[in-house]
Amino acid sequence: MLSLLLTSDIIESIRKSHEAVLINFLLLLLLCEANDNIIEFMNQIVKKLRVYKVMSEISSICYTTYSCLSPIERSTVCAKEKSMFWGVALRKHPVLQQLIQRKKYIAAFDYYACDILGKKLDETILDVVIDLLNRGEHEIVLNQFAPMMDRLLPINSFLVGIVFLLNHDVDKFYEMLTDYALFTSVNTPQTKSILIDNMDASQLSRDFLLGIFIGPSDSAVTKSNYYHKLAQLINEYMTSSLAGKSPVSKQLVDKQHLYALMIELENKAIEILEDSAHGGAFRHLEGLFLRSHLSTTLGAQKFKDALVSLAKLSILYENSGYEEYFEDYIKALLKANKLETLFLANEKNVFANNYLLVDSILLKLANEDLVLTNALKCYEILYSWRLLGPSTTDAEKKSFFDKRGAAEALFLFVTRFQLEKDTLLSESTQLENFQYFKLKILELFKIILTTLKTFEAEEDRWIRKRTVEKTWEVITLTELNIEYLRWMKELEGELLES
């Protein structure tokens, strides 16, 4: 322990002495008449001072423990025996370690300053940055080491871009990493090895790095996948920031802005793959990008944009497998209280082409929702869907008219309330007003009766009724009218009692 402290103090003392001499010498040169030799000499001094600056930063950073994942010590006085110097400088340089063990401190300092930092300064800074990122210390990387990094080196610019995201500067991250030329420069076996082999603690960045190095940069698959992975990285950043304990990170997250960037990236990924004319060879990848685009646009409540990917998914999986995506879309509409979107015209006629699928999803959501308010809304939308259908031409619209089915949708809620009201009361929130629902059912009866009266023939005035045994039986207009009168009489009695 004493040996470590002594070594740190001696090396730091030598550095300060050298630094003071160089600064004084530089000041003297500034007083001289400038010529090429003096300017060159001054440049060499500045370069050396930069080395000493890095040396000072490395030695001043200490960890809380000796663990390779230990955070930086901030609460107490820096313990020199836990300085970054021991991990970063000695780990890769056995010669330096031997000189220190032999107590050849001046020789050790010269070797450290000249042979390591002097010749491999950028490499050392990169080691420091990766070490700090693995410890989750991205803020100190941005403030202290990113300004020292040579941005002409692609790997440095690439890492700084990731650091910007970790420090909540999403726009700078987006600006730097959406430059595909930068990724092309780092998409080499050597850079891939440096990043993946060493960045093993930051799960956010590691997942991203593992996912982008999949092939040559001129491949449409590699390029489209890169933009898709960027979108995923932003999504994971948003999720982790909002789930974190730090209120500061939550305040810095602009969800709508992040969603907008993610949608741009997913659009780019899809566009690149579509333009490659792959002839169905990358069908799985295209489906992956479209599903991601759908999820992102639904999260952002950009339902018009989501409709584009939904339409493409319905074509891509035309035989089967796309039903769940329609359900996700309709659930998002329901959550946002935007179910009227189903009835709006759209270029692809997505809803008209999948009329029965939308019908079955609405019915499923209505039947499964135990919250009365939500269930009622779904049944009412289902009534309108069966009665009016999606917005299409007048000629097409006729094929969607189903008056009996529309009336049945409303009566499903009536019978469900009658049969399950006790269960629904226990499952629903106490704020729900059951007296309101009883009055609402009276209104639904009127709508059902009015709808059935539009049938010209008496024998056509019927609907199916769901029984206690969950089977179906026919109920006529006359029987419905009797139930309506009975319900109205029951309500009148309750009102008189109250």
The partner residues of 120 in beta bridges, in order of sequence, read none
Kindly state the helix (H) or strand (E) to which residue 379 belongs, with its residue range: helix 372-388
- Tally the C-alpha atoms within 13 A of residue 472's C-alpha that lie toward its C-beta: 7
Helices (H), 61-104: 84-91, 94-101
Say what the pLDDT of residue 431 is: 44
Judged by DSSP in three states, 176 sits in helix
Radius of gyration for the chain, computed over Cα atoms and rounded to the nearest angstrom: 35
pLDDT reported for residue 395: 45
Per residue in 182-208, pLDDT (tens digit) is 999 999 999 999 999 888 756 678 889
Classify residue 122 by burial, with Cβ atoms within 10 Å: 0-12, 13-18, 19+. middle
Mean of per-residue pLDDT scores for the chain? 87
Q: With a cut of 70, which residues of the chain have pLDDT below it?
A: 1-2, 77, 201-203, 244-252, 278-280, 319, 345-348, 391-400, 421-433, 497-498
Q: Of 168, 117, 172, which is closest to residue 138 (Cα–Cα)? A: 168
Report which of 286, 274, 329 is spatially closest to residue 304, judged by C-alpha positions.
Answer: 329
Question: Do β-strands 472-476 and 462-466 pair in parallel, antiparallel, or remain unpaired?
Answer: antiparallel
Q: List, for residues 69-109, the tens digit of each pLDDT value.
A: 787 877 776 777 788 888 787 778 889 889 988 989 999 99
Q: Which residue has the tokens 């730091």?
A: 12
